[in-house]
Amino acid sequence: MERWIIDDVPDQAGRTFVITGANSGLGFETARAVARRGAHVVMTARSRLKGETAVERLRSLVPRASAEYRLLDLADLDSVHAFAEALTAGPPGDVLVNNAGVMWPPRTLTRQGFELQFATNHLGHFALTALLYDWLGISAQQGRDVRVVTVTSVLHRGGRLQRGDLTGDRSYSPTAFYAQSKFANVVFGLELDRRLRAIGSPIRSVLAHPGYAATNLQTSGPTGLRKRVYQVLNVVLAQPADRGAWSQLYAATDPDVEGGQLIGPDGPGEMRGRPTVVQPVHRARDPETAQELWSLSEKLTGVPFPLDRPK
């Protein structure tokens, strides 16, 4: 792992990857890397124009790429259901990369009345994973290497569940609610791993974070001075998006990765570097928090996860 580079992504011929938010940044770079190694890539975006443009761009960079665009707005549960229904009507897939996200927008509520960051970054991905679980399970039953990779952030370490104020109605901080959503990603990924192990499933639930990678995430959500600051920091401090994607590529493709691991950069502060196993904040491992978040997510999304509860 110490000398892992992008060329170490193994052959992915015959495998299907579903990558959310694949029109730019980490999602696009992940799609490009696995397409280059022979995978078929389902690239999702909430804008048809951006999604179709991304597929065209991918094919220009990887001429033999097998890729398709599908509309998916993770902030809208109706869109999540429609996407999953259409996708599961076709052949089963191998890897789901829960990559899409929003960061530090002004307080915004979704169509279903949820705070935008929690809805997009966590609830939408929770519902999507649940709706695709049986579809992925078909590939697992065929002996294929099936994984769910959930992309979090080093900022999850400052996150906590905003109990009693999930919509930010009483007090909203863009940074605190972003950290909450990324904390929820970690809690979900670890709890999914526990539940998969409890039923003897071969599906691996793996977490990844990119460190500090220059993408439009830091500039499309924030406004005002914060946006201008991050435009400068992205140039001065961040590693490029293709390097930021290394962690999730390692999590999605390396044969030595184990379920329940968090993959992040090996450099100082986990800000940049080559992928390695890093440790999530301790409170993200709390089983009571995991049970609370799991039950809450099923209730809010209306999507029961088709997994037996661990004994």
Pairing of strands 275-278, 262-265: antiparallel
Check residue 302 and give its pLDDT: 98
The mean pLDDT of 17-26, rounded to a whole number, is 98
* Amino acid at residue number 4: W
Residue corresponding to tokens 């089963």: 92
Confidence of residue 3 (pLDDT cuts 50, 70, 90): confident
Tell me the domains of the chain and their CATH numbers. 10-301 (3.40.50.720)
Dig out the tokens for 162 from the structure: 């905003």
Active-site residue (options: 69, 133, 178, 250): 178
Check residue 236 and give its pLDDT: 46
The pLDDT tens digits of the residues spanning 251-304 come to 999 999 999 999 999 999 999 999 999 999 999 999 999 999 999 999 999 999
Confidence of residue 219 (pLDDT cuts 50, 70, 90): low
State the Cα–Cα distance between residues 53 and 35, nearest whole angstrom: 16
Report which of 295, 239, 249 is spatially closest to residue 275, judged by C-alpha positions: 249
Check residue 214 and give its pLDDT: 78
The pLDDT tens digits of the residues spanning 177-196 come to 999 999 999 999 999 999 99
Q: Which residues contact 152 (CB under 8 A, 6 or more apart)?
A: 182, 183, 185, 186, 189, 207, 208, 209, 262, 280
212 is an active site residue: no
State the Cα–Cα distance between residues 101 and 47, nearest whole angstrom: 14
Collapse the DSSP code of 48 into the 3-class scheme (helix H, G, I; strand E, B; otherwise coil) and give the result: helix
Q: How many CB atoms lie within 10 A of CB 170?
A: 8
First to last CA, the chain: 34
The mean pLDDT of 8-19, rounded to a whole number, is 98
Collapse the DSSP code of 232 into the 3-class scheme (helix H, G, I; strand E, B; otherwise coil) and give the result: helix
Q: How many CB atoms lie within 10 A of CB 287?
A: 12
Check residue 215 and give its pLDDT: 73
Dig out the tokens for 104 from the structure: 């530090």
The mean pLDDT of 225-235, rounded to a whole number, is 52
> What's the chain's average pLDDT?
93
Q: Is it the case that residue 241 has pLDDT exceeding 50?
A: yes
The mean pLDDT of 27-54, rounded to a whole number, is 98
Give, for 68, the enclosing helix (H) or strand (E): strand 66-71
Dig out the tokens for 83 from the structure: 């996407």
Report which of 264, 18, 275 is spatially closest to residue 153, judged by C-alpha positions: 264
Check residue 222 and give its pLDDT: 56
**DSSP one-letter code for 119:** I
